[in-house]
């Protein structure tokens, strides 16, 4: 329409100019003439006719050239218009797909998003949203296909596709695949908070404590978790590593694991107890005896007392003497008295063992104390009393089980 109006305007202008020239030249008695020759040909006409013809000719030639230019540009304009229409439709499709996904219409969302992805200005968003929709309806093969197409639309340094892929794998409990993707993302950006958080979640689920221990410094440095969460995670990680080393029953492996633990974690009673128990179980109790004594001086703990009494010391008499020194501070500690009874039994002092164990039972009747005093009585030859104490221990144990069941119901 605009071109047609432009044509009419130029035609009107040409007519007005031609008329004005004709009127001006007609005022003269001698309008003049124009003679043109070419070879054997010649053309003679009046100046008025020549001027009017020139104006009309210019108009015709000008519009012919404009028409030719329009025709040459027409395919490009048509193509641009088609792209513009497709782009607008893709934008509408993206909005519709996002609304469908928000409403839980996964199949409809997936279909609309993929249909318009090729013509969109943001194909990455189409494919990633379609991948989420496909997973939500259980089509994992389609999900992976859309993720591959999204990766083709993204640069290698763009973490968006990888983060979405890892998140989807985690939600489907595909932890190995998630860790593979997250490992690549971590190499691109080691300090990315979301990558670190998802790696920590995946490592915990697969119980890869070695991997988690390597990740702990980054989690703390980049403040991915709160300080209390980091401390709890450190405790769980290093205690699990110690337990894993303990299952190998290898003193060197347990000691190497302990040496790798940060000093501020070693001071935690729970961690230290696992280390001491592991070393005692592996037959290296003598190497941790002094460590247990020092730990008890800092933190009085029933578990440590039990571990101390379980050490197969080369000098049990000295071990008993050390434990008896603690009676001055904790004279009525039933666990200490039970440990003293056990150590006395190891040294062959059955009367002393009986006295310590009876005192422990009077303060707190425990299964362990009943078992120990039963053994002492059996060694002394009093089988009836031994059976009586064993029976009492079983009764205490059964009562504890019943109490626990009542708490859980």
Query: 87 or 258, which is more confident?
Result: 258
Query: 91 or 218, which is more confident?
Result: 218
Average the pLDDT over 84-98 and give the result.
Answer: 63
pLDDT at 313 over 60: yes
Output the pLDDT for position 21. 60
Q: Which CATH superfamily is domain 322-409 in?
A: Tetratricopeptide repeat domain (1.25.40.10)
pLDDT, averaged across the chain: 82
Query: 7 or 266, which is more confident?
Result: 266
Looking at mean pLDDT, say which of 57-61, 227-231, 328-332 comes out highest.
328-332
Looking at mean pLDDT, say which of 35-44, 123-132, 311-320 comes out highest.
311-320
pLDDT at 408 over 90: no
Range with the lowest mean pLDDT among 4-18, 61-75, 208-222, 374-388? 4-18
Output the pLDDT for position 350. 92
Banded pLDDT at 325 (limits 50, 70, 90): very high
Output the pLDDT for position 359. 93
- pTM metric for this prediction: 0.64
3-state secondary structure the chain: CHHHHHHHHHHHHHHHHHHHHHHHHHCCCCCCEEEEEECCEEEEEEHHHHHHHHHHHHHHHHHHHHHHHHHHHHHHHHHHHHHHHHHHHHHHHHHHHHHHHHHCCHHHHHHHHHHHHHHCCCHHHHHHHHHHHHHHCCCHHHHHHHHHHHHHCCCCCCCHHHHHHHHHHHHCCCHHHHHHHHHHHHHHCCCCHHHHHHHHHHHHHHCCHHHHHHHHHHHHHCCCCCHHHHHHHHHHHHHHHHHHHHHCCCHHHHHHHHHHCCHHHHCCHHHHHHHHHHHHHCCCHHHHHHHHHHHHHHCCCHHHHHHHHHCCCCCHHHHHHHHHHHHHCCCCCHHHHHHHHHHHHHCCCHHHHHHHHHHHHHHCCCHHHHHHHHHHHHHHCCHHHHHHHHHHHHHHHHHHHHHHHHHHC
Output the pLDDT for position 81. 60
Banded pLDDT at 202 (limits 50, 70, 90): very high
Output the pLDDT for position 299. 86
pLDDT at 233 over 80: yes
Query: 154 or 300, which is more confident?
Result: 300
Average the pLDDT over 55-79 and give the result.
Answer: 72
Domain range summary for the chain, segments of one domain joined by +: 322-409
pLDDT tens-digit readout, 272-295: 889 999 999 888 888 899 999 998
Average the pLDDT over 389-405 and give the result.
Answer: 85
Output the pLDDT for position 391. 92
């Amino acid at each position: 329409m605009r071109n047609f109006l432009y044509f009419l305007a130029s035609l009107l202008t040409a007519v007005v100019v031609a008329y004005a020239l004709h009127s001006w030249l007609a005022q003269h008695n001698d309008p003049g003439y124009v003679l043109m020759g070419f070879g054997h040909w010649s053309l003679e006409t009046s100046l008025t006719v020549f001027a009017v013809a020139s104006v009309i000719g210019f108009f015709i030639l000008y519009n012919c050239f404009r028409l030719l230019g329009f025709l040459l540009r027409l395919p490009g304009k048509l193509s641009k218009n088609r792209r513009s229409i497709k782009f607008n439709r893709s934008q509408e499709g993206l909005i519709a797909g996002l609304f469908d996904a928000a409403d839980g219409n996964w199949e409809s969302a997936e279909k609309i998003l993929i249909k318009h992805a090729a013509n969109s200005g943001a194909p990455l968003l189409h494919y990633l949203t379609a991948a989420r929709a496909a997973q939500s309806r259980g089509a994992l093969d389609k999900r992976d296909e859309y993720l591959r197409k999204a990766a083709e639309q993204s640069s290698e340094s763009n973490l968006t596709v990888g983060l979405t892929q890892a998140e989807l794998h985690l939600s489907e409990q595909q932890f190995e695949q998630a860790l593979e993707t997250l490992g690549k993302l971590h190499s691109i950006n080691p300090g990315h908070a979301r990558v670190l958080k998802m790696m920590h979640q995946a490592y915990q689920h697969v119980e890869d404590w070695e991997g988690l221990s390597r990740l702990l410094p980054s989690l703390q440095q980049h403040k991915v978790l709160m300080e209390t969460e980091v401390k709890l995670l450190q405790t769980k990680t290093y205690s699990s590593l110690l337990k894993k080393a303990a299952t190998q029953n290898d003193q060197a492996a347990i000691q190497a694991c302990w040496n790798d633990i940060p000093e501020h974690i070693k001071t935690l009673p729970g961690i230290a107890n696992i280390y001491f128990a592991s070393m005692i179980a592996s037959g290296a109790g003598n190497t941790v005896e002094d460590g247990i004594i020092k730990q008890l001086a800092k933190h009085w703990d029933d578990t440590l007392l039990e571990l101390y009494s379980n050490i197969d010391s080369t000098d049990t008499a000295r071990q008993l003497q050390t434990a008896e020194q603690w009676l001055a501070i904790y004279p009525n500690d039933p666990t200490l008295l039970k440990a003293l009874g056990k150590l006395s039994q190891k040294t062959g002092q059955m009367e002393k063992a009986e006295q310590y164990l009876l005192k422990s039972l009077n303060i707190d009747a425990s299964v362990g104390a009943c078992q120990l005093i039963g053994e002492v009585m059996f060694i002394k030859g009093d089988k009836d009393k031994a059976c009586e104490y064993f029976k009492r221990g079983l009764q205490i144990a059964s009562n504890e089980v019943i109490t626990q069941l009542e708490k859980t119901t």
